[in-house]
Chain A
Amino acid sequence: MKRKIPLLITFTVGIILIISEFIPHKPFGQLSGELEIWFLIISGFAILLGQLSLFKVNILKIKYKQRDWQFYTITLISFIIMVTLGFLWGTGKSAGMLGHGEAISSMLGYKPFDYLFHNIYQHLQATMFSLLAFFIASAAYRAFIGRTVESNLLLASAVLVMLGNTTLGSLLTGWLPESLNFLHLPKVSEFIMTFPTTAGQRAIMIGAGLGIIGSSLRIILGIERSYLGGE
C-alpha cells in the first residue's frame, strides 16, 4: 500500500498533464492548472525541507567530529545568523518581526541581512567563481595539446573562438580588406559558434529530450521507482 498509492498518484497526475497538453479544455485544462498550483506550494515546502536537511547533516558531522568539522560549524553559524537577521528586521523594503530596524539600518547603511549579503556573501561568491579562471587557464594549458587530428581541430577552434570573443580578434584582423571579411576573427568565431557548435548542441538537445520522454514514461507507468526511496 505504501508504494501502490504514490504510484497511483504519479500515474494519474502524469496522465492528466499529458492529456491537458492535447485537450486544454474542461476538465483537463482546469485540472492541470490546479496541479500547477499544488506544485508551486510543494516547491515552497521543498526549500524548507532543504534547510532542515542542511541543518541535520551539519549537526551530525559536528556531533561525530568528522574531518574538517570546524567548517561545518561555520556553515551552521552563518546559516543561523542570516535566518535570524532576516526574521528580525526583514530584507529590502519588507519588515521583519521587529519592524524595519531604522536605528541599526542608519548605522550600517543597509538592513543587517542586506548588509551581510552585499558586503560578505556577494564577494565570497564572486571570489569562488573568479578562482575558476585560474583553473580553466591551467586546464587549457594541459589539455589543448595537438596529439591527434581531432585534438588539433579542437585546439584550432578553441584558439579561434577565444580570439574572436575578445577585443584581440578585432585588433588582429581589423585591417583586412572587405573582400577578406570572412577571415575576420570575430566573424570566424561567430561562424564556429553558429554552425558546427549549434549543430552539435542540437543533436545533444534532441538526444536529451528523447531521454527525458523515456524516463518520464518509465516513472508515470511505474517501471522506474527509485524516486520512492527504499530498495
Chain B
Amino acid sequence: MGKAKQIDRRWLFLLIFFGVAFPLIFTLGLPLETTKNVQMVYDLIDNMPKGSKALISFDYDPASMPELHPMAKAIVKHCFDKDINLIFTAMWPMGVQMADDIIYQLKDDYPDLEYGEDYVNLGFKAGGMITIQSMGKNFREVFPKDMNGNNIDELPIMEGINNFSNIGFVFSLSAGAPGIKEWVQIAHDAYGRPTSGGVTGVSAPAILPYVNEQQQLTGLLAGLKGAAEYEILLKAPGTAISGMDAQSAAHLIIIIFIIIGNVNYWRNKKAEKMGGK
C-alpha cells in the first residue's frame, strides 16, 4: 500500500476516542444474545445446592479490571443470591485488592453478609501451580491464616475444608499466568472438581480448548461480552452491558478503517498495473 495513500493514524485515534467515549456517556442499549459457554457457567452456579462452598481465585490486576471486574461482580452476586459461601484467593498479588473491591461494591446489596461465615479472603500466595497443587493436598498448609491474620481454624466458613474435595466448584478470573490454565490442570484434572472461569477477550482463544466434552472447564466467560451476557442472564445490568456499546462502536470503526485500507490497496494496485501498461 503506497504510503501517500495512508490515512494519518491520528484520525483513527480520534475516532476511536469518541467512538468509545460517547456510548459510555449515552448508553445505546444494543441487543445482545447469550452463548452456550456463558449459559454453562450460569447453570453450574445456579444448580449448586444452598450452603455449598466455592473457591474464587482473583488472578488479575487493575489493568484487566474493565473486562474482569464486571464478571467478578456478577459471579459473586449470583453466588450470594444462591447462598453459596465463597472462599477468595489470588494467584496475582493485586488480586487480593480486586476481591476486596468486589465485596466493597456489593456490601450495600447484601448488608447481612458476615466475614468468616459467608465469605473469606485468604489472600495471595506466590508459587502458581505448585500453590494450587498444595491446596489440593492440604488447604491449611498453604493458608494457615487469612489475609487479615485470622487463624483459618477459627473461621466458621473453613470448617471441614481440608482440600478440593470439600469445595463445590472452583472459579478463576484470569488475565494470564498463573491463572485459569493452572486451576484446570490441578483442580479439575488432578482432583476432579468442577472448574470454570472468566478470561480477558484476548486470552480466550488459548483457553477455549479446555471447554470440551470432558468438561475440563464448565463454560467460560470470555471478555466483556461474556460479562455482559452473564449480567443479562442474572437480570442485573451493570458496567459490562454499557461497556459493550463502546466496544461495538470501536470494532465498527476498526472495520471501517480496514475496509478503507483495503480499498486504498486495491486502487493503488490497479493504478500500478495501468502505469505498467
Interface residues of A (CB under 8 A from B): 33, 36-37, 39-40, 43-44, 46-47, 91-94, 114, 117-118, 121-123, 125-126, 128-130, 133-134, 136-138, 140-142, 144-147, 155, 158-159, 162-163, 165-168, 170-171, 174, 186, 190, 193-194, 197-198, 201-202, 205
Contact indicator A163/B35 (Cβ below 8 Å): no
A202 to B33, CA, bound (A): 27
Contact indicator B30/A171 (Cβ below 8 Å): yes
Q: Which of B141-180 contact A (CB under 8 A)?
A: 141-142, 147-149
Q: What's the least CB distance linking A138 to chain B, in Å?
A: 5
CB-CB under 8 A for A138 and B134, given A46-B126, A94-B147, A133-B250: no
Contact indicator A141/B261 (Cβ below 8 Å): yes
Contact indicator A121/B62 (Cβ below 8 Å): yes
Q: What's the least CB distance linking B140 to chain A, in Å?
A: 12
B1 within 8 A of A: yes
Q: What's the least CB distance linking A78 to chain B, in Å?
A: 15
Per-residue contact bits, chain B 8-33, to A (CB 8 Å; 1 contact, 0 not): 01001100110010000000101111
| Chain A to chain B contacts (Cβ below 8 Å), 10 pairs | A36-B130, A43-B126, A43-B128, A43-B131, A118-B97, A140-B258, A145-B262, A146-B262, A158-B258, A186-B33
Q: What's the least CB distance linking A160 to chain B, in Å?
A: 10
Contact indicator B16/A147 (Cβ below 8 Å): no
CB-CB under 8 A for A146 and B254, given A167-B245, A190-B35: no
Contact indicator B16/A201 (Cβ below 8 Å): no
Contact indicator A134/B31 (Cβ below 8 Å): no
B83 within 8 A of A: no
Interface of B is mostly: helix
CB-CB under 8 A for A167 and B254, given A40-B127, A122-B62: no
B89 within 8 A of A: no
B117 within 8 A of A: no
A114 to B12, CA, bound (A): 37
Interface residues of B (CB under 8 A from A): 1, 6-7, 9, 12-13, 16-17, 20, 28, 30-33, 35-36, 61-66, 96-97, 100, 125-128, 130-131, 133-134, 137, 141-142, 147-149, 201, 204-206, 208-209, 223, 225, 244-245, 247-248, 250-255, 257-258, 260-262, 265
Interface of A is mostly: helix
**Residues of chain B with a CB closer than 8 A to A33's CB:** 134, 137
**Residues of chain A with a CB closer than 8 A to B208's CB:** 193-194, 197-198, 201
B66 touches which of A40, A126, A141, A145 (Cβ 8 Å): A126
Contact indicator B9/A138 (Cβ below 8 Å): yes
Contact indicator B148/A163 (Cβ below 8 Å): no
CB-CB under 8 A for A166 and B31, given A92-B147, A125-B62, A137-B12: no
Contact indicator B125/A40 (Cβ below 8 Å): yes
**Residues of chain A with a CB closer than 8 A to B20's CB:** 133
A167 to B254, CA, bound (A): 15
Contact indicator B247/A166 (Cβ below 8 Å): yes
Contact indicator B248/A168 (Cβ below 8 Å): yes
CB-CB under 8 A for A167 and B255, given A40-B131, A137-B250, A145-B261: no
Contact indicator A166/B225 (Cβ below 8 Å): yes
